Amino acid sequence: MKKKKVYRLKKSVKIFILIFILAICLLIFGIKKLNDYMYTQTYEYKFAQLGYSSENIKLFISKLNDSELNELLAMEFNEFIPEFVNCKYFMYKNLNGYLSQVITQEDDFFKYHGTEGYDYDNIVALTNVGSIFKYYENTKPTDMNKDYAILVNKFYYLSSTYVPEDLVSIGWDYRLGGPKDYKYARKEVVEAFINMWNDAKMEGIYLLVDSAYREYEKQDSVYREYENKHGTKYADSIAARPGFSEHQTGLSLDIYSKECVSASTFKDTKTYAWLIANAHKYGFILRYPKGKEKITGYNYESWHYRYLGVDLATKVYEEGITYDEYYAFYLDK
Ligand SMILES: [Zn+2]
């Protein structure tokens, strides 16, 4: 009797072990299946299925939010998407704009508006600021709540009735022209300029303001005169259309010096070098830099400075981009 009892016990243990092993196997199998299923639900798997490399996928996940990632998943594979996402100033809302600028050639060579040598960062910059469109098309009134950070360019305009409320006249010491050639700018701009003027003077540099605030009517008559004499194309190349001139903001100053009041040679003066190194400390930036003509819509102007306040001017200066780009990426919310 005793022996039989032991045998039975052993048999039940065996069955138990068998069931246990089976259960473990099923569990392992189930977990694997679940894992496999879970993996098919990940961005890694879905983007890999579309044809993106693991490097591309890491980039997407690090720079895009869920709804953007899902929108990308609904699009076909495009080799240029990772190139644009990788750009510092990539903005998801402009992705289709970037892609529209890329014309794929048989050898994967791309062109922008028929001009060779445009890189992805440049396409991103031009698209972000709207310069892939024709100037003065797709225009909109600028956001007046931005105050000193207001953007006025060939896409953002001021109303014909806008006149800054705090215009003050710029003293004769600080400007070109005769004693009665009054020039005005917003109060804070004039104060900042005088601070800059004093510090520059300590280093033997004498700054002088040429154009400052320009009213809508004045810009209108200047532009119309060019247009009537030489046509719209010429007028656009030489003057802003009324409402689109930064001089109407009262925040822009054309600055020369006692030694040089020539637009063509000012860029070669020590005054210009001083301004490039120091203007941001007083709240001013060079508004139309060299090499950025397509982005700003203006030829290089070594004399045209824009007041933004010290904090913002310093940020734009340190970022090393035009104000149009800075505004599009950081402020146009
Ligand atoms: Zn100017």
- 164 and 249 in a single domain? The answer is yes
- 122 and 3 in a single domain? The answer is no
For residue 182 the two structure tokens come to 């009054």
Range of the domain at 98: 51-129
Alpha-carbon gap, residue 128 to 113, rounded angstroms = 16
Distance, CA 171 to ligand 1 centroid (Å)? 19
Domain boundary among 109, 129, 149: 129
Provide the pLDDT for residue 166.
98
- 275 and 168 in a single domain? The answer is yes
Dihedral class, residue 182 (left if φ above 0, else alpha if ψ from -120 to 50, else beta): beta
- 195 and 307 in a single domain? The answer is yes
Looking at the domain assignment, is residue 73 inside a domain?
yes
Q: How far is CA 15 from CA 10, 19, 22, 96, 225, in A?
A: 9, 6, 10, 65, 103
Longest pairwise C-alpha distance within the chain? 130
Q: What is the DSSP secondary structure assignment for residue 329, as one 8-state letter?
A: I
Distance, CA 243 to ligand 1 centroid (Å)? 14
Distance, CA 209 to ligand 1 centroid (Å)? 10
Which DSSP helix (H) or strand (E) runs through 87?
none
Do strands 140-141 and 156-157 pair parallel, antiparallel, or not at all (unpaired)? Answer: parallel
Residues with CB under 5 A from ligand 1 (ion): 254, 304
For residue 9 the two structure tokens come to 């016990």
- 267 and 315 in a single domain? The answer is yes
pLDDT in tens, 292-315: 999 999 999 999 999 999 999 999
pLDDT in tens, 190-238: 999 999 999 999 999 999 999 999 999 999 999 999 999 999 999 998 8
* Domain containing residue 235: CATH number: 3.30.1380.10
Distance, CA 27 to ligand 1 centroid (Å)? 75
Distance, CA 124 to ligand 1 centroid (Å)? 26
Provide the pLDDT for residue 106.
42
pLDDT band at 7 (very low <50, low <70, confident <90, very high): low
Q: How many residues does the chain have?
A: 333
**Any catalytic annotation for residue 301?**
yes
Looking at the domain assignment, is residue 263 inside a domain?
yes
Looking at the domain assignment, is residue 182 inside a domain?
yes
Partner residues linked to 156 by β-bridges? 140
Looking at the domain assignment, is residue 301 inside a domain?
yes
- Rounded to the nearest integer, the mean pLDDT of the chain is 92
Strands (DSSP E) along 241-333, which ranges? 252-257, 284-288, 301-307
Looking at the domain assignment, is residue 194 inside a domain?
yes
| Owner of token pair 């894992």 | 35
| Owner of token pair 């003065």 | 136
pLDDT in tens, 8-39: 668 888 899 999 999 999 999 999 999 999 98
Alpha-carbon gap, residue 122 to 24, rounded angstroms = 58
Q: What is the DSSP secondary structure assignment for residue 240, as one 8-state letter?
A: P
Say how far residue 29 (Cα) sits from the centre of its chain: 52
Looking at the domain assignment, is residue 198 inside a domain?
yes
Percent of the residues in the chain that have a pLDDT greater than 90, as a whole number: 83
Distance, CA 151 to ligand 1 centroid (Å)? 14
| Owner of token pair 């693991």 | 54
pLDDT in tens, 156-196: 999 999 999 999 999 999 999 988 889 999 999 999 999 99
Provide the pLDDT for residue 146.
96
Provide the pLDDT for residue 3.
55
pLDDT band at 133 (very low <50, low <70, confident <90, very high): confident
- 286 and 211 in a single domain? The answer is yes
- 37 and 165 in a single domain? The answer is no
- 155 and 62 in a single domain? The answer is no
pLDDT at residue 115 tops 70 = no
- 212 and 283 in a single domain? The answer is yes
- 2 and 116 in a single domain? The answer is no
Which DSSP helix (H) or strand (E) runs through 186?
strand 184-186
Least confident of 57-71, 91-105, 161-175: 91-105
Among residues 76, 301, 319, 325, the one annotated as catalytic is 301
Total of domains in the chain: 3
Whole-prediction pTM: 0.88
Provide the pLDDT for residue 253.
98
